[in-house]
Structure 1
Amino acid sequence: MKTRSLGAAIAQGKCPQCREGNIFPTSLYSYQKLTVVNHHCDKCGANFNPEPDFYMGAMFVSYAFSVALVVTVLVALNVLMERPPFWMYVAVIVGTNVLLLPLLLRYSKILYLYGVGKLKYSPKTTSKK
């Protein structure tokens, strides 16, 4: 069986320990159950909730994503237009944040679990259940 790379596992929202099980019960692009995380990996049994309110720290990652998005939009508007009106800044920033909200929330939790969660990759764990 071919192993999934770290980047592919993060992009697809897979378990940090086995890189096969799903972190979320629904698709990454689903608006249903947007913030619900599985309690355990369905392939290796890894615990995705090591302590109560573990994912509260993911707010910092989400904040960093939002700041990066705002800065990118501001720079893009200034490069593409000579003097955009203030309402255009507000409309584009609010619109992009609303459109990308599911991805920002999901990936902030994924990156937080990979970075702070104490799950390390072990290809032998996929046979456990």
Structure 2
Amino acid sequence: MSNKSGFQAMLGAKCPQCRTGNIFPVSPFSFRKLSAIHHTCPHCQANLNPEPDFYYGAMYISYAFSVALVITALTAINVLVEEPELWMYLTTVVIGNLLLFPAMLRYSKVLYLYGMGKLKYKGD
């Protein structure tokens, strides 16, 4: 078992039960296999897919991430640029969403699994 805190395990996209095994087969920042999740933890064999379509609820978290990104980008442009034009807003939001899409999608699934997955940490 791992000595990682729950927060460190979430950041590393590790299994909520052992905090060692990876939830995703590739890096959370990778554009490959965006929706792929291990069905069971490679380390402790915990079920990471508790029911069919379990991760549909993560769409709400992903949406919240996108809204937060848009609000942050628009606020930053308003503060940094004296008279911003429409293309600045659109370009910033589109590029930001494209670059951060894999991380937002995957971390929404991680947060949903930790919050709703009913897997508890089994420490040493």
- Is TM (by shorter chain) over 0.5? yes
Task: Report how many residues are paired.
Answer: 124
Please give the residue correspondences for 1:1-20 in structure 2 after superposition, counting only pairs within 5 Å: 3-20=3-20
Amino acid in structure 1 at the alignment position of 2:76: A
Percent identical residues: 59
* Unpaired stretches in structure 1, ≥5 consecutive residues: 125-129
Aligned counterparts of 1:51 and 1:3: Cα–Cα separation in 2 = 28
Aligned counterparts of 1:93 and 1:86: Cα–Cα separation in 2 = 11
Corresponding position of 1:118: 118
Corresponding position of 1:40: 40
Q: Report deviation, 1:90.
A: 0.4
* Unpaired stretches in structure 2, ≥5 consecutive residues: none
Q: Report deviation, 1:2.
A: 5.6
Q: Which contiguous aligned blocks of 4+ residues in structure 1 show a shift greater than 2 angstroms? A: none
Please give the residue correspondences for 1:1-129 in structure 2 after superposition, counting only pairs within 5 Å: 3-124=3-124
Please give the root-mean-square deviation of Cα atoms over the aligned residues, in Å.
1.1
Q: In 2 relative to 1, CA 36–2 (structure 1 residues): closer, same or farther, beyond 3 Å?
A: closer
Aligned counterparts of 2:72 and 2:49: Cα–Cα separation in 1 = 33
The SS at the match of 1:42 is coil
Amino acid in structure 2 at the alignment position of 1:70: V
Aligned counterparts of 2:40 and 2:70: Cα–Cα separation in 1 = 34
Q: Report deviation, 1:123.
A: 1.8
